[in-house]
Amino acid sequence: MSATFSEASKALHDNAELSAKVMSAGSPAERAEILKAAGIPVPTHADVNAYHASLSDVSGAGNTNPSIPIAVGCSVAAASAN
């Protein structure tokens, strides 16, 4: 798991208000802006895909907190926009 993805995941897990803001965002670009404003690095598609690939060998696993992949799933262009 990338450091960027890990940091974003932890921040969303630890801060319910931030997680709610990210979950209510209407677009990947808006999610990225919320994370940036909070000082959290925005994971790229490659970061998110690497996380999902790391779960491919897990049998019967389920994501009990769907906000994390949804929250950080943004386009590379949105993630790199300043």
Tokens of 46: 């490659």
Please name the amino acid found at residue 41. P
Note whether residue 75 is domain-resident: no
Give the total number of structural domains in the chain: 1
Note whether residue 30 is domain-resident: yes
Note whether residue 22 is domain-resident: yes
Note whether residue 19 is domain-resident: yes
Note whether residue 15 is domain-resident: yes
Note whether residue 3 is domain-resident: yes
Note whether residue 82 is domain-resident: no
* Domain region containing 27: 1-53
- Where b means 16+ CB within 10 Å and e means fewer, 26-56 reads eebeebbbbbeeeebbbbbbebbeebeeeee
Note whether residue 76 is domain-resident: no
Q: With cut-offs at 50, 70 and 90, classify the pLDDT of residue 58.
A: low
The predicted model scores a pTM of 0.60
pLDDT in tens, 18-46: 999 998 999 989 999 999 999 998 888 77
Q: Which residues contact 74 (CB under 8 A, 6 or more apart)?
A: 28, 29, 31, 32, 42, 43, 45
